[in-house]
Amino acid sequence: MSKLFLATLLSRILYPGIWVIFTVTQIFLLSFYILISKFILFDTIVCNILHAVVLLMLWYPLKYSRNIPNIPVLFIFHILLYLISSAIWMGLGFTITNSLFSSLQYYPDFFLTILPIRILFSLLVYIVFVLMFHLLFTKQQIQKKDEISAVNSSDPVEKLTRVIVKKNSEYHCIMVNQIRYIEANGDYVLIYTDSNKFLKDKTMKYWETHLPDDSFVRVHRSFIVNIEMIAKIELYEKEIYKVHLKDGDTLKASSAGYKLLKQKMNL
C-alpha cells in the first residue's frame, strides 16, 4: 500500500474515486464505437482495478529512484518500470477475463484492438502518478524537516495539559490524563479516551513531543500510549510486543518502544 496516496482519509476516498471516474469514462467512450457487453464491462473494470493496485505498489521503487543522480539512468529506470508494471496489470487483466469468458473467441481480438489506447492511457497515468508522487514525497520530507527543526530548537517545548477536539458540530475539552492512547492516521491522529475517539490534526511527532514525557510513550510508529492505562506487556513475536490496556484494547510495540516503556515504568 502506498503511504503517500492512501495516507489520509481524504486520499483513501479520493484515489479510488478517481479510478471509478476513469472506469465510467472509458466505458462511456467505448460505447460510441462498440456495443457494450458483459465481457467488455468486466474487462474494463478488472483492468482498472489491477492498474490502480499496481500503481500503488510502485511507491517502493519510486521512493528509492530519487537517489539516482544520473538523468539517462533515471529515464531508463522509468521506462522499464512503466513497461513492467503495464505488462503485469494488462497481462493479469487479459488472463482473468479470458479464463472467465473462454467461450468468446473474439475477446483476444478485442483486447488487441484496444491495446494501443490502453498503452497511451496508462503512459499518461504513469507520468501524472510519478509527478504527484514526487510532489507529495517532497511535501512529506519538508514536514519532517520542520518537525526535526522544532524538536531541536533551543526553545523548550510547552507540554500539553488539555486538548480541544471537534466532533460533528461540538467541541470537547480533553485533559491529557484522560487520553488512553493515540493512533496514527496519515497526517492526522485518532485520540482514544474511555468513552470516545476523536480525529485531530498534527503528526505523531508533534504529539510525541508535546505530551508529558512521564506519562506518554511512543511504543510504535503508529501508537503513543498513556502508561497509566497499561495492564500488561507480552512478547508477541520476534522484536514485536503486545501492550494490553486495562480496558481490553491491545497495541503493538516495537523493540525500541518496549525499551522506552521499560525505562518509564522502571521494569
Residue 147: pLDDT band (50, 70, 90) is: low
Cβ atoms 214, 250 nearer than 8 A: no
Strongest mean pLDDT among 101-110, 163-172, 174-183:
174-183
Residue 182: pLDDT band (50, 70, 90) is: very high
The string of DSSP codes covering 83-112 is HHHHHHHHHHHHHHHHHHTTT-TTHHHHHH
Mean pLDDT of the chain: 86
Report which residue type is found at 55.
Answer: L
Domains of the chain: 9-152 (no CATH), 162-265 (2.40.50.1020)
Give every CB contact of residue 116 below 8 A, 6+ residues apart in sequence: none
**φ/ψ of residue 240, rounded to 5:** -125, 130
Q: Which residues of 225-262 are buried (b: 16+ CB within 10 A; e: fewer)?
A: bbeebbeebeeeeeeebebebeeeeebebbeebbeebe
Higher pLDDT, 89 or 104: 89
The pTM (predicted TM-score) of the whole model is 0.54
Query: Quick one: pLDDT at residue 91?
Result: 94
Query: Quick one: pLDDT at residue 153?
Result: 55
**What order of strands is seen across the sheet that includes strand 188-192?**
197-200, 188-192, 181-185, 223-226, 216-220
Cβ atoms 165, 198 nearer than 8 A: yes
**φ/ψ of residue 47, rounded to 5:** -65, -40
* Gap between the Cα atoms of 249 and 182, Å rounded: 12
